[in-house]
């Protein structure tokens, strides 16, 4: 009995890190908690005295569990449902709080979660374990069923997709700042700041998934675009984060890391001339979403 108590206490010391690993892999706090709890169950049934490095052992076991969950999710083509599950054994299960999940996702980086969701399960596991948590490829290889060299290639391919492979764009910082300024002004409800950012003849186009049925799909002129933005987009702006969309600065609206809307901008000089609001599932799936060099989460 005392041995199990010691094991439970030791596991608790690793819980926060395991939860962070699993959340980055799965993008759902409830599923991350499921994976952590399953990791505990496997530890409690193992010969723990034979484990040389418990932290690394837990991370790799949790990664195997997450990989299975990601593959099952891909097969179902379903979004994860956040539900609390009680377990009778081991350390007490922490219930998932939606606000807690939102805060955690925001701290990790909503844009990063969106990009990670576009990787294959094996790519996502290799990238998260190595690039975000420093697990060596010798340990990652068995998790994804590859050699260490192949696991390194998976992580490299994922890294290229996360960061983007386009040539350096010397004009990118200026356009990125304009998009950030647009987001800030929308969150603040600052009409004048938005007018200053827009070309007088600016156009906003939105697909049918993004706006109420009674709303015009196109708005013409800076004043109309600003009013439409503040009327319908101010609430969504709290979930929006800058990202590169098809290589250009844009915004992704992703509550808890689940992509719902992408917003692209056409910029001429120091003014925004066109805004496109994309929310259709097929259209979103066709976008290339990456992060700029130097992005950290």
CATH number at residue 22: 1.20.140
* pTM greater than 0.75 (yes/no): no
CATH number at residue 180: 3.10.450.50
Helix residue ranges, H only, 145-276: 148-163, 172-188, 191-197, 222-232
Q: Are residues 156 and 184 in the same domain?
A: no
Rounded to whole angstroms, the Cα distance separating 247 from 97 reads 35
Q: Which domain holds residue 187?
A: 172-290
In a domain, 297, yes or no: no
In a domain, 261, yes or no: yes
Strand ranges in 9-107 using DSSP code E only, listed in sequence order: none
Q: Are residues 119 and 95 in the same domain?
A: yes
Q: DSSP code of 131? A: I
Read off the pLDDT of residues 217-259 as tens digits, 9 standing for 90 and up.
899 999 999 999 998 777 788 888 898 998 889 999 888 778 8
Q: Are residues 112 and 71 in the same domain?
A: yes
Q: Are 14 and 54 in contact (CB under 8 A)?
A: yes
The closest alpha carbon to 248, from 171, 161, 146, 195, belongs to 171
Q: Are residues 9 and 117 in the same domain?
A: yes
In a domain, 42, yes or no: yes
**Whether pLDDT at 35 is above 90:** yes
Look at 11-15, 125-129, 131-135 and tell me which has the smallest mean pLDDT: 131-135
Q: What is the dihedral of CA 172, 174, 175, 176, to 10 degrees?
A: 80
For residue 287, CA distances in Å to 44, 144, 247, 248, 259 come to: 44, 27, 10, 11, 11
In a domain, 110, yes or no: yes
Query: Given pLDDT bands bounded at 50, 70 and 90, which one contains residue 85?
Result: very low
Residue percentage of the chain with pLDDT more than 90: 36
The closest alpha carbon to 80, from 21, 18, 34, 127, belongs to 34
Rounded to whole angstroms, the Cα distance separating 264 from 8 reads 49
Tally of CA atoms within 13 A in the half-sphere of 23 that contains its CB: 25
The closest alpha carbon to 255, from 276, 279, 238, belongs to 238
Q: Are residues 122 and 183 in the same domain?
A: no
Read off the pLDDT of residues 183-219 as tens digits, 9 standing for 90 and up.
999 999 999 999 999 999 999 999 888 888 778 889 9
Point out the domain boundary residue: 129, 163, 197.
163
**Whether pLDDT at 261 is above 60:** yes
In a domain, 295, yes or no: no
Q: Are residues 238 and 264 in the same domain?
A: yes
Q: Which residues contact 224 (CB under 8 A, 6 or more apart)?
A: 204
Q: Are 207 and 219 in contact (CB under 8 A)?
A: no
Among 15-24, 75-84, 257-266, 271-280, top mean pLDDT goes to: 271-280
Q: Are residues 19 and 158 in the same domain?
A: yes
Point out the domain boundary residue: 111, 136, 163.
163
Q: Are residues 26 and 152 in the same domain?
A: yes
Q: Are residues 189 and 233 in the same domain?
A: yes
**Whether pLDDT at 293 is above 80:** no
In a domain, 194, yes or no: yes
Q: Are residues 200 and 133 in the same domain?
A: no
C-alpha of 121 from chain center: 14
Q: Are residues 150 and 250 in the same domain?
A: no
Q: How many domains does the chain have?
A: 2
Over residues 134-140, mean pLDDT: 90
In a domain, 14, yes or no: yes
Point out the domain boundary residue: 163, 186, 220.
163
Say what the pLDDT of residue 71 is. Answer: 86
Query: For residue 77, how many other CB atoms are within 10 A of its CB?
Result: 6
In a domain, 296, yes or no: no
**Whether pLDDT at 56 is above 80:** yes
Q: Are residues 187 and 56 in the same domain?
A: no
Say what the pLDDT of residue 79 is. Answer: 47
Rounded to whole angstroms, the Cα distance separating 196 from 40 reads 55
Residue 179 — left, alpha, or beta (φ > 0 → left; ψ -120 to 50 → alpha)?
Answer: alpha
């Amino acid at each position: 009995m005392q041995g199990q108590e010691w094991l439970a206490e030791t596991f608790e010391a690793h819980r926060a890190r395991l939860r962070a690993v699993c959340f980055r892999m799965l993008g759902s706090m409830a599923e991350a908690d499921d994976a952590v709890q399953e990791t505990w169950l496997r530890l409690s049934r193992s010969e723990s005295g034979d484990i040389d490095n418990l932290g690394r052992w837990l991370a790799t076991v949790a990664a195997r569990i997450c990989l299975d969950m990601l593959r099952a999710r891909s097969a179902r083509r379903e979004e994860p449902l956040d539900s609390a599950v009680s377990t009778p054994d081991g350390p007490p299960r922490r219930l998932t709080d939606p606000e807690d999940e939102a805060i955690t996702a925001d701290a990790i980086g909503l844009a990063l979660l969106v990009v990670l969701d576009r990787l294959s399960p094996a790519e996502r596991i290799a990238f998260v374990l190595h690039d975000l948590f420093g697990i060596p490829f010798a340990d990652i290889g068995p998790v994804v069923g590859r050699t260490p060299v192949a696991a390194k290639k998976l992580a490299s391919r994922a890294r290229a997709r996360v960061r983007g492979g386009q040539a350096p764009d010397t004009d990118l910082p200026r356009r990125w700042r304009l998009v950030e300024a647009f987001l800030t002004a929308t969150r603040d409800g600052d009409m004048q700041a938005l007018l200053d950012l827009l070309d007088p003849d600016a156009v906003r186009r939105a697909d049918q998934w993004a706006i109420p049925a009674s709303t015009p799909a196109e708005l013409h002129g800076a004043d109309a675009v600003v009013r439409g933005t503040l009327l319908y987009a101010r609430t969504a702006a709290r979930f929006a984060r800058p990202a590169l969309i098809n290589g250009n600065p844009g915004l992704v609206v992703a509550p808890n890391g689940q992509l719902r809307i992408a917003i692209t901008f056409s910029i001429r000089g120091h003014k925004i001339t066109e805004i496109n609001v994309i929310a259709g599932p097929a259209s979103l799936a066709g976008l290339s979403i990456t992060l700029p060099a130097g992005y950290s989460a």
